[in-house]
Amino acid sequence: MAGPQQQPPYLHLAELTASQFLEIWKHFDADGNGYIEGKELENFFQELEKARKGSGMMSKSDNFGEKMKEFMQKYDKNSDGKIEMAELAQILPTEENFLLCFRQHVGSSAEFMEAWRKYDTDRSGYIEANELKGFLSDLLKKANRPYDEPKLQEYTQTILRMFDLNGDAPHPRGDTDSHRSFLCYDPSLRSIGGKLTSEEFNAIFTFYDKDGSGYIDEHELDALLKDLYEKNKKEMNIQQLTNYRKSVMSLAEAGKLYRKDLEIVLCSEPPM
């Protein structure tokens, strides 16, 4: 945890490298729970405002509460009152090539999924850590982004550090001999599922997958998502529902959305 006198790193820079982005994340996510929230969020916003003023970027309002509310409305995409890593990547001037590591920042979800599935052969939502470099290289090539070997190595090592894949954290499925990276899916999509367990998800999916084929189509997904809105007592917003459906259907193959793909997106814990 950062000491109280330690200055936040790099917020004044015009562009952040991958490793600098991670240092900022670790500085403000002081408890290491994967979110910048509460007092951490207040501290981050205060320091960001100072850095922006120092570079001549002035806010329209002088009221801290109003400025922070506007800030969260703009960047807190899933409206959970927290900043996730992918949301921080949108806030900070992070180098564009590194943004491709976050699916939300890829121009074509289909291209991302095509590259991802080359490595995620068991459709688990994970790829092996030793395959991560190849996946990132493929992704950059598909986007026609120039890169060199040192920069690719930096991206790879930064992502491994992000997900604590050097051996310190247990794998969520209990693996001990291979550490994997859960990069594929947009965590903001989980907000529609709330705290949906695998058992609850399976019951809902089975209801719509009446023929037991293991997949549903776009129309069945629409009804399933509406059920989840009602289950979690969320106000129905047609535009938001449309955006969710579009994002989720980017995982489909030939219009077929398979159980495993949807479970990884919607459940509170990855499937075992």
Residue 40 has pLDDT above 90, yes or no: yes
For 95-135, the pLDDT digits (tens) are: 888 877 775 555 555 667 677 778 877 766 677 778 888 98
| Average confidence (pLDDT) over 44-50 | 91
What was the pLDDT predicted at 171?
41
pLDDT category at 7 given cuts 50, 70, 90 is low
Instruction: Please check whether residues 113 and 84 belong to one and the same domain.
Output: no
Instruction: Please check whether residues 128 and 81 belong to one and the same domain.
Output: no
Instruction: Please check whether residues 141 and 81 belong to one and the same domain.
Output: no
CA nearest neighbour of 13 among 95, 84, 134, 127 = 95
**Chosen domain end from 115, 145, 165:** 165
**Chosen domain end from 71, 91, 111:** 91
Instruction: Please check whether residues 238 and 203 belong to one and the same domain.
Output: yes
Residue 8 has pLDDT above 70, yes or no: no
pLDDT greater at residue 151 or residue 117 = 151
Q: Is residue 118 part of a domain?
A: yes
Instruction: Please check whether residues 72 and 111 belong to one and the same domain.
Output: no
| Average confidence (pLDDT) over 174-179 | 40
Q: Is residue 133 part of a domain?
A: yes
pLDDT category at 5 given cuts 50, 70, 90 is very low
Instruction: Please check whether residues 217 and 261 belong to one and the same domain.
Output: yes
| Average confidence (pLDDT) over 217-225 | 83
Residue 73 has pLDDT above 80, yes or no: yes
Percent of the chain with pLDDT over 90: 11
pLDDT greater at residue 95 or residue 267 = 95
CATH number of the domain bearing residue 128: 1.10.238
Instruction: Please check whether residues 205 and 222 belong to one and the same domain.
Output: yes
CA nearest neighbour of 184 among 132, 245, 257 = 132
Q: Is residue 239 part of a domain?
A: yes
Q: Is residue 191 part of a domain?
A: no
CATH number of the domain bearing residue 221: 1.10.238.10
What predicted TM-score, i.e. pTM, was given to this entire model? 0.62
What was the pLDDT predicted at 27?
92
pLDDT greater at residue 68 or residue 178 = 68
State how far the Cα of 151 lies from the Cα of 154, in Å rounded to an integer: 5
Q: Using alpha carbons, list the distances in angstroms from residue 22 to 66, 98, 193.
A: 28, 11, 28
Would you tell me how many other CB atoms lie within 10 Å of the CB of residue 174?
A: 7
State the chain's mean pLDDT as an integer.
75
Q: Using alpha carbons, list the distances in angstroms from residue 237 to 1, 179, 231.
A: 39, 39, 15
Q: Is residue 193 part of a domain?
A: no
- By the 8 A CB rule, do 95 and 45 touch? no
Name the domain count of the chain. 3
Instruction: Please check whether residues 79 and 28 belong to one and the same domain.
Output: yes
**Chosen domain end from 124, 142, 165:** 165
Domain boundaries, position 77: 18-51+63-91
| Average confidence (pLDDT) over 268-272 | 47
Q: Is residue 190 part of a domain?
A: no
Q: Is residue 7 part of a domain?
A: no
